[in-house]
Amino acid sequence: MLHVSDLLLQHKDISTFKELIAVVRERAKNEMFFRIDLKPPYPDTPNNWEMILEAAFSSANESPAIPTPATDNSEANDG
């Protein structure tokens, strides 16, 4: 079973939530279960971090596209 806390201990070089997503996707290829037991301490960790990590784990063997933290750019595209 893959635990978020274990990832944080094993990968102390990670400094952003985006990097954590990549590690979760890679490790998910060899794991069947995922336990979200600790909130990642990164400043860019979004409010919906649990959903994003779960999606990264679940979709690791399905598709390269997963949800990532995004800002609302709808205003920037309106004109």
Give the model confidence (pLDDT) of 46-66 as tens digits.
Answer: 999 999 999 999 998 775 555
Whole-model pTM: value is 0.74
User: What is the distance in angstroms between the CA of the first residue and the CA of the last residue of the chain?
Assistant: 48
Position 65 in a domain: no
Q: What is the pLDDT of residue 60?
A: 84
Q: What is the rounded radius of gyration, in angstroms, for the C-alpha atoms of the chain?
A: 14
Query: Does a structural domain hold residue 66?
Result: no
- Residue 24 inside a domain? The answer is yes
- The count of structural domains within the chain is 1
Encoding tokens for residue 28? 């998910």
Domain, as residue range, for 53: 2-58
Closest CA to 24 of 4, 5, 43: 4
User: Taking all residues of the chain, what is their mean pLDDT, rounded to a whole number?
Assistant: 86
